[in-house]
Amino acid sequence: MAAFSLDPEQTAWCASLRGLAAEQLRPLADKGEPGRVNRPLVAALGSHGLLARLFDSGALDLCLMRESLAHACTEAETALALQGLGAHPVAAHGSAAQRARWLPEVVAGRAVAAFALSEPGAGSDAAALALHAVPDPATGGWRLHGEKRWISNAPEADFATVFARTGDSAGGARGVTAFLVPAGRPGLSGEPLDMLAPHALGSLVFDGVPVGPEDVLGAPGEGFRVAMTTLNLFRPSVGAFAVGMAQAALDATLAHTSARPAFGGVLADLQAVAHQVAEMATRTEAARLLVYAAAEAYDRGGADVPRRAAMAKLLATETAQYVVDTAVQLHGARALQRGHLLEHLYREVRAPRIYEGATEVQRTIIAKELYREVRP
């Protein structure tokens, strides 16, 4: 089964992706401005066919791409993931006109996409959205009012998948609609945010932004389903991103502890060090297998996808935090120096435990799914 044993073709593809990331994508990432969209990097992902593969293959392929790219270039991995996150609702729920207008541009790396779900007061509780769409009788559409924050590729994206409340309900999942909002709409503004890891994240402010029926993704009132189907696909792949970082930290630790002189030998000769490395490797492999299993469940349409996706994200992101932190400890002060691989990974590894549903939310999802099976 592919979830537990990759075939030779998959293994070779992953190796080629790691080489591509190290040799061609890493130099482009290094030239980018921290915290801003790196359009040459996005274009390179398009020219190498990776953006097309986001929509032409399944969850396992997505996980293999994210893990392989993250091993050598976290910026390339993040650029790929943000394109997928923002454009997947268009691919899965968009009209023929929406798909024809935007997907070729996304696949080519010419159009940058954003996924606008989180708000200042609604992060992990996605059903508590406050951005509201006021009906506009003059046009038959709506006017968007409110703010989104911590949004991928904002405010530089060419379009955003935006979730707004259109129903009369004061809260909950009902009455949320997904809209495709192109950049440049009147009343739309935003600014970049300075984050711990310098990803392209920002805020979007909606001051009466006009949207019409032609901008709806899916159907009015079904935006929560659009959001959740997207997150169910991408949550295991967040775990794959984490596994890629954990593997990079583990590889660096093996190299360092095998060569670093200490107490008449090398660090690897110390049982305390060797046992820590063994624990790092075991946890990384366990997380990897859980991610593959969740992706395989998604690809076969399993009913247990929400539980498996939450488990994969939970274990992989928590494992990566442990592995990177342990790697820093075993490297000593050199790992704290600006520009060191582990200094970079230490900043990168913290965010995945929060975005696309924090660790605590994943535990809640897992528990609900487990009890659903035993309660009438």
Residue 290 binned pLDDT confidence (cut-offs 50, 70, 90): very high
Tell me the CATH number at 317: 1.20.140.10
Question: Average pLDDT in the 280-294 region?
Answer: 96
Please say if the pLDDT value at position 169 is more than 80.
Answer: no
* pLDDT at residue 376, as a whole number: 64
Q: Is-catalytic flag, 147?
A: no
**Same domain? 247 vs 271:** yes
**Same domain? 179 vs 257:** no
Tell me the CATH number at 124: 2.40.110.10
Give how many domains the chain has, as a whole number: 3
* pLDDT at residue 167, as a whole number: 78
Which residue out of 279, 356, 360, 369 is catalytically annotated?
Answer: 356
* pLDDT at residue 3, as a whole number: 43
* pLDDT at residue 2, as a whole number: 42
* pLDDT at residue 56, as a whole number: 87
**Same domain? 334 vs 213:** no
* pLDDT at residue 1, as a whole number: 39
**Same domain? 94 vs 146:** no
Residue 174 binned pLDDT confidence (cut-offs 50, 70, 90): confident
3-state secondary structure the chain: CCCCCCCHHHHHHHHHHHHHHHHHHHHHHHHCCCCCCCHHHHHHHHHCCHHHHHHHCCHHHHHHHHHHHHHHCHHHHHHHHHHHHHHHHHHHHCCHHHHHHHHHHHHHCCCCEEEECCECCECCCHHHCCCEEEEECCCCEEEEEEEEEEEECCCCCCEEEEEEECCCCCCCCCCEEEEEEECCCCCEEEEECCCCCCCCEEEEEEEEEEECHHHEECCCCEHHHHHHHHHHHHHHHHHHHHHHHHHHHHHHHHHHHHHCEECCEEHHHCHHHHHHHHHHHHHHHHHHHHHHHHHHHHHCCCCCHHHHHHHHHHHHHHHHHHHHHHHHHHHHHHHHCCCCHHHHHHHHCCHHHCCCCCHHHHHHHHHHHHHHHHCC
66-124 pLDDT, tens digit each? 999 999 999 999 999 999 999 999 999 999 999 999 999 999 999 999 999 999 987 76
**Same domain? 212 vs 236:** no
Examine residue 73 and state whether it is found in any structural domain, yes or no: yes
* pLDDT at residue 171, as a whole number: 56
Containing domain of residue 13, as a range?
8-108
Please say if the pLDDT value at position 194 is more than 60.
Answer: yes
Please say if the pLDDT value at position 60 is more than 60.
Answer: yes
Percent of the chain with pLDDT over 70: 96
